[in-house]
Structure 1
Amino acid sequence: MKNRAWSVILVVLALLLLASASFYSVRMTQSAIILQFGKAVRVVEAPGLYLKWPLVQDVVFVDKRLTSYSTQPEPFLTAEKKPVLIDFFAEWRVVNPLVFYTRLHNTSTAQSRIGDIVRSALRGEVGKMSLESVIQGRRQEIINPVLAEANLRLQPLGVRLVDVRILQVGLPPEVLRAVYKRMEAERTQEANDYRSRGAADAAKIRANAEKEKTEIMANAYRQEEEMKGQGDAEAASIYGAAYGKNPAFFSFYRSLEAYRHGLGDKDVLVLNPNSPFFKYFLHSLGPADQ
């Protein structure tokens, strides 16, 4: 009785193992490749529960979702043979699971091949551009041909690139130092140009100011002389008119001015007492002079 019970249990377990080995499920994110004696016979794309021959057929699942590939910064040479550091990432998916499994077998192998192909295409495009164009960020001009060329080479592998992006563009330390030195020299030359132009403009402004100053001084001197001449003419006219009204008083007034200016505290004059200069000291005014 015990042997019979154990036999039933073993049969049930065998049936369960056979059933589990006969059924498989496919998710929405997967494609299933049916292998018969190690050879791919068909591909199942639709999700669901399926039946296979146990011990004869095996199932390999291929992920249909987007897969990312990224790198660390790597050196690339520009058209001038100058190194530039670029790191990029790519997104890809399997479009033909049977070809993918036949040619690449798994995701790790696919990642390696995709990296090599994208890197080669990127190297070719960067080699056509100048260092300035790469640094200035004209990345779309690089990405479009890289994406087209990489997809052309990946098509026989059952893989399609969805997107490629350049994350960062940099320079090696030695090139960066050389660039900084060149930028410093350019800025120094530019500053010297500004200084020289400023000095020339300052000299021109000073020359114009000096010219204007000379003209203003000349005009002021001319006006001064004209005003002095007019004043002297008016003074002579006034003196003449005054002399005509009373010549004796005018002569006396001018003599007083001469005494005031000529006889100072420290002045010594040696004159003949009968000199006309002392006439008003020697003679009083007569009735005709009053």
Structure 2
Amino acid sequence: MTKQGFIIALAVAISGLFFLGASPLFTVDITQNAIVVQLGKPVRNITEPGLYVKVPFIQEVTYFDKRLLDYDSDAQDVITQDKKTLLLDNYAKWRIVDPLKVYQNFQTQRGALQRLNDIIYSELRVELGRHDLLEIVADHRADLMKIVTQRSHEKASAYGIEIQDVRIKRADLPEQNEKAVFARMQAERERQAKQYRAEGAEEAQKIRSEAEKDREIILAQAYKESEELRGAGDAKAFKVYADAYRQDVHFFEFTRSMEAYKKTCKDKSTLVMSPDSEFFRYLKQR
């Protein structure tokens, strides 16, 4: 066979391979790693992008994504330390760092993802089972997720997988437990409301009692001061009367009698007295 004939035959053979879908050429994208498998055994681990050659019908290529991947699981039940069932929906960020190990253990990326789900759920169940519900949903969630991430990464690294972060996307109570929880919450709020009302009534009674005591003290003090002032006024009046009496006895008696007439003989007053009474002495004088 001439050289030209050989080239033609080679071209025809290659064209036939392409036609049969058994191209000896394959490409590796910049976002991919590739494992060349020959008769079920990996023979090449390709980590750089480019155009490569394989043996048709004998060698196959399995691709693995080298980018940071998302893992989003379905919601699953987790039982806390205080025996509460929590419906947990979590996600993770992970990467294939050793495609050869991944192929040897799982053959495909889908198989690796299934194993990743088992590892993360197992660590979540173990770690969250050591804490109460309130700690998980409120107090220490970030710290718990760091522990779960670290332990999950330690297990997954044996399979050529790196787990960078595990997070809780949503944590709910199962539907059958929601009513019981809401009932307990309502009872607790009612208990607190009754306690606050009782404390308020007690405080109001204290305030009223204190105000009543202050009122009595103020009235007593005012009465004391008024009596002292009245007594002082009466004493001064008596002194004035005494001085006036000493100066002119008859005028004093006359003045006092006029005041008595004025107070006694008001409009529509009726007096039943003897005409010779001493009370009318100044009225009878001429």
TM-score range, shorter chain: 0.7 to 0.9
Question: Are the equivalent residues in 2 in contact too, given 1:135–1:170 (CA < 8 A)?
Answer: no
User: Could you say which residue in structure 2 is the equivalent of 1:278?
Assistant: 280
CA distance in 1, matches of 2:79, 2:119: 17
CA distance in 2, matches of 1:65, 1:178: 45
How much does 1:100 deviate? 1.6
State which of 125, 148, 153 in structure 2 corresponds to 1:146.
148
Q: Does the alignment pair 1:116 with 2:115?
A: no
Q: Does the alignment pair 1:268 with 2:271?
A: yes
Match of 1:237, SS state, is helix
Instruction: Could you tell me which runs of 5 or more consecutive residues in structure 1 were left unpaired when the two chains were aligned.
Output: 1-7, 285-290
User: Could you say which residue in structure 1 is the equivalent of 2:132?
Assistant: 130
How much does 1:41 deviate? 2.1
CA distance in 2, matches of 1:56, 1:281: 157
Number of aligned residue pairs: 277
Question: Are the equivalent residues in 2 in contact too, given 1:74–1:86 (CA < 8 A)?
Answer: yes
State which of 27, 51, 54 in structure 1 corresponds to 2:53.
51
CA distance in 1, matches of 2:82, 2:217: 61
Instruction: Could you tell me which runs of 5 or more consecutive residues in structure 2 were left unpaired when the two chains were aligned.
Output: 1-6
Q: What amino acid sits opposite 1:270 in the alignment?
A: M
User: Could you say which residue in structure 2 is the equivalent of 1:256?
Assistant: 258
1:233-244 paired onto structure 2 within 5 Å: 233-244=235-246
C-alpha change, 1:156 and 1:239, in structure 2 (3 Å) is closer
CA distance in 2, matches of 1:276, 1:67: 127
Q: What amino acid sits opposite 2:205 in the alignment?
A: A
State which of 24, 29, 38 in structure 2 corresponds to 1:22.
24
CA distance in 1, matches of 2:263, 2:150: 111
- Residues 207-234 of structure 1 show CA distances to partners (whole Å, capped at 9, x for unaligned) of 2222222222222222222222222222
- Residues 7-50 of structure 1 show CA distances to partners (whole Å, capped at 9, x for unaligned) of x9776422434587333332222222222233222322222223
Question: TM-score with structure 1 length normalisation?
Answer: 0.83
User: Could you say which residue in structure 2 is the equivalent of 1:287?
Assistant: none
With 74-83 and 220-229 compared, the bigger mean Cα shift is at 220-229
CA distance in 2, matches of 1:255, 1:38: 144
User: Could you say which residue in structure 1 is the equivalent of 2:234?
Assistant: 232
C-alpha change, 1:50 and 1:283, in structure 2 (3 Å) is closer
Question: Are the equivalent residues in 2 in contact too, given 1:32–1:59 (CA < 8 A)?
Answer: yes
Question: TM-score with structure 2 length normalisation?
Answer: 0.84
State which of 35, 38, 47 in structure 2 corresponds to 1:36.
38
State which of 93, 96, 120 in structure 2 corresponds to 1:94.
96
- Residues 42-61 of structure 1 show CA distances to partners (whole Å, capped at 9, x for unaligned) of 32222222333334333332
How much does 1:78 deviate? 0.3
Match of 1:21, SS state, is coil
User: Could you say which residue in structure 1 is the equivalent of 2:213?
Assistant: 211
Q: Percent identity?
A: 37
Match of 1:150, SS state, is helix
How much does 1:244 deviate? 2.4
**RMSD of the TM alignment (CA)?**
2.7
CA distance in 2, matches of 1:147, 1:260: 108
State which of 227, 247, 262 in structure 2 corresponds to 1:245.
247
CA distance in 1, matches of 2:33, 2:16: 24
CA distance in 2, matches of 1:217, 1:254: 35
Question: Are the equivalent residues in 2 in contact too, given 1:24–1:52 (CA < 8 A)?
Answer: yes
Question: Are the equivalent residues in 1 in contact too, given 2:102–2:109 (CA < 8 A)?
Answer: no
How much does 1:281 deviate? 4.1
CA distance in 2, matches of 1:195, 1:177: 27
Match of 2:62, SS state, is strand
Q: What amino acid sits opposite 2:24 in the alignment?
A: S
Match of 2:273, SS state, is coil
Question: Are the equivalent residues in 1 in contact too, given 2:89–2:171 (CA < 8 A)?
Answer: yes
Match of 1:268, SS state, is coil
How much does 1:137 deviate? 5.3
Q: What amino acid sits opposite 2:232 in the alignment?
A: Q
Question: Are the equivalent residues in 1 in contact too, given 2:66–2:96 (CA < 8 A)?
Answer: yes
